[in-house]
Amino acid sequence: MVPYDMCVTSTGDVYFTDFSNKSIRCLSLSGSVSTVISTDPLVPLGICQSVDSELLVTFRDKESDDYKLESHSRRLMRHITVTGDVIHKYEYQEDGQTRLFTLPYRVTQNKNSDICVVNRTIANAGELVIMSLTGRLKFIYSGQNLKKKFCPTAVLYESLCNILVTDLNNNQIHLLSSNGEFLKFLLTQNEENHPVRLSLYKSMLWVGHWEGLVKVFKYRL
């Protein structure tokens, strides 16, 4: 078993993607682990609870290169029930031909139903892909005023639907408006060192780092 990403649902259950077994598994409040969805032949990557208390999950195939896509490559996201029924699939833009993702790494959704996906485009860089619930592409964010390539690793929405995203290469946390407008960097480089994960509970921002350190900050605009 290789857990890749996880989310805690409103019921307290923990759903996580199992990279090696191509499945979505659940850790219940009782401590038992069960496979709830097989995703074979696709590999599940990012996962979050959707606003309708179902799941959003990103996927990739295993046959093609990470960043050199071919006609048979599969890179997509699905809105699914907790039992695996597909509600909606997101793979191409509205023209039905242009891919939405190269490697959809992480996913989150705001209370207004917009979906934000961390899309890795090369090994050490990427972008944010923001779309409506219906799959309409709204905007792409590729960084602002940076010395190195933008390398997003984690993303979340806060209560006002602003977007927080970690930038591994630049040791920053970017704050964007819900429309994708860059607002500011939350922390200085002296405060951050290779941030890779984010969690926000009320006014407390938890930041996980590449080296295994976790820092907690008071979050305020």
Helices (H) and strands (E) counted in the chain, each on its own, are 0, 19
State the pLDDT at residue 200: 93
State the pLDDT at residue 193: 79
Q: Which residues pair with 214 in a beta bridge?
A: 208
- 77 neighbors 55 (Cβ within 8 angstroms): no
Token pair listed for 142: 């590729």
Query: Per residue of the chain (221 residues), what is the pLDDT tens digit?
Result: 778 999 999 888 999 999 999 999 999 888 889 999 999 999 999 999 999 999 999 999 999 999 999 999 999 999 999 999 999 999 999 999 999 999 999 999 999 999 999 999 999 999 999 999 999 999 999 998 899 999 999 999 999 999 999 999 999 999 999 988 999 999 766 666 789 999 998 899 999 988 888 999 998 76
d(C-alpha 164, C-alpha 97), whole Å: 30
Q: Which residues contact 208 (CB under 8 A, 6 or more apart)?
A: 154, 195, 196, 197, 198, 199, 214
What is the domain range of residue 31? Answer: 3-218
State the pLDDT at residue 188: 67
166: domain CATH number is 2.130.10.10
d(C-alpha 71, C-alpha 105), whole Å: 20
How many independent structural domains does the chain possess? 1
- 58 neighbors 45 (Cβ within 8 angstroms): yes
